[in-house]
Copies of this chain bind each other. A is one copy, B any other.
């Protein structure tokens, strides 16, 4: 609880219950969340629009990052210290086709790729889809 406030303070954001609850939801669920997921979890307490704006703010401040998958856009906590100036991510995302959950594989880095000359890379996003350990265990 107190940790939440520090996270928000650390990114120069006012502590509001909506922000605390969104942050808490990200920390409880381990997987990446879409706006719809959050609306399902918190929609009775907060307006749809407020949740959109909270996500946008968190994104700008470096608290969460985008996670792309074939269904659309999701978000996950930035584990290492990102800031407004510098979002840096080079980890892999895994989506399970069975349970539908998408996760950050934080300690698995995207391998280096040599681009054709003339291309200037700035950011990388690798999504692997397949079956996750939990779903393989219950087969």
Task: Report which A residues bind B (CB closer than 8 A).
Answer: 66, 68-70, 72-73, 92, 94, 97, 105, 108, 110-113, 115-133, 136-137
Contact = CB atoms under 8 A, between A and B. Distances in A.
Given A68-B70, A113-B92, A124 B118 contact: no
A120 B97 CA distance: 10
A118 B97 contact: no
A43 B103 CA distance: 38
A129 B125 contact: yes
B69 A68 contact: yes
B130 A122 contact: yes
Contacts of A119: 94, 128, 130-133
B122 A136 contact: no
Nearest to A112: B111
B129 A126 contact: no
Contacts of A72: 72-73
B129 A122 contact: yes
Given A66-B70, A68-B69, A69-B68, A123 B116 contact: no
Contacts of A118: 132-133, 136-137
Contacts of A110: 126
B128 A113 contact: yes
Contact of A108 (B112, B115, B129, B136): B115
